[in-house]
Amino acid sequence: MKRLILFAGTLAVTVAWSSGAANASNNSVSSDRNPRLAAPAAVATPGTAVREVTLPAGTVLPVTLATAVGSDISRVEQPVEGRLRRAVTYHGVEVLPAGTAVKGHVTAAQRPGRVKGRGYVAIRFTDIDAPGPGFEHMTTTQVSRLAPTTKQKDAVEILAPAAAGAVIGRVASGKSAAREGALIGGAAGTGYVLSTRGKEVRIGKGAALAVRLRAPLTVKVRS
């Protein structure tokens, strides 16, 4: 009787162990076949890693101007645009590719006066289309142009009529008439100078500019 009870107990344990093993095997197969039950695996995508690179203050950006500006055609705050004519590298790494867009505005536009003053125009770039979404703000030096002086030309335009008047007066009536002719001629020349402006100044579309960073610029580049 004891042997029969022992045999029955051993058989029950064996059956239960076999059933558990079978269920575990089925669950394993089911997990392999159903990807939702499998453990997720990390997938690395090559070429998408990025890192930050900081261009130091003083770095020169070679910009080609895309918007013509001038003392007579521009106004303060007028938008200007440009593009990098070549890539900017730092420690052998290309940080900004050629063709990168930059944006800014006119900071000064002054026409020459009739009596004094020279034509003057200045621009500053404030944003750059660095790699990544949107434009990055940047701080750069001002790019400006000043018209050449016209003092020498003005002197010629005053003296020439004066000399001509003196010659005419001397031929006509002697020394005293020559002095009067010089005064009249000089007055005419001075009047002409005072009625005309000095030279305007412009920076044309396609001009090659050297724009210098006043503060560091941090951009993201692909590793």
| Residues 140 and 183 placed together within one structural domain of the fold | no
In a domain, 21, yes or no: no
| Residues 208 and 102 placed together within one structural domain of the fold | yes
In a domain, 84, yes or no: yes
CA 198/CA 70 separation, integer angstroms: 14
| Residues 54 and 106 placed together within one structural domain of the fold | yes
Q: Tell me the residue range of the domain where 77 lies.
A: 50-147+198-218
- pLDDT 10s digit of each residue in the chain, 223 long? 445 444 555 555 455 545 554 454 454 444 444 444 444 444 444 556 788 999 999 999 999 999 999 999 999 999 999 999 999 999 999 999 999 999 999 999 999 975 567 999 999 999 999 887 789 999 999 999 999 876 555 444 445 555 554 555 555 555 565 566 555 555 554 454 445 568 999 999 999 999 999 999 999 887 6
Q: Which of 113, 107, 112, 101 is nearest to 74 (CA)?
A: 107
| Residues 122 and 104 placed together within one structural domain of the fold | yes
Q: Which value, in Å, is the radius of gyration of the alpha carbons in the chain? A: 42
In a domain, 64, yes or no: yes
In a domain, 115, yes or no: yes
CB 48 within 8 A of CB 223: no
Residue 59: predicted pLDDT? 97
Residue 60: predicted pLDDT? 97
Residue 210: predicted pLDDT? 97
| Residues 100 and 63 placed together within one structural domain of the fold | yes
| Residues 116 and 171 placed together within one structural domain of the fold | no
In a domain, 213, yes or no: yes
| Residues 62 and 76 placed together within one structural domain of the fold | yes
Residue 55 sits at φ, ψ, to 5 deg, of -80, 130
Q: Which of 48, 86, 83 is nearest to 222 (CA)?
A: 48
| Residues 102 and 165 placed together within one structural domain of the fold | no
| Residues 173 and 70 placed together within one structural domain of the fold | no
In a domain, 72, yes or no: yes
In a domain, 10, yes or no: no
| Residues 175 and 211 placed together within one structural domain of the fold | no
Burial 181-192 (b: 16+ CB within 10 A, else e): bbebbbebbeee
How many structural domains is the chain composed of? 2
| Residues 83 and 159 placed together within one structural domain of the fold | no
| Residues 95 and 202 placed together within one structural domain of the fold | yes
User: Which two tokens mark 148?
Assistant: 């050449």
Output the domain CATH number for residue 84.
2.40.128.260
In sequence order, which residues have a C-beta less than 8 Å from that of residue 44 and are 6 or more positions away? none
In a domain, 33, yes or no: no
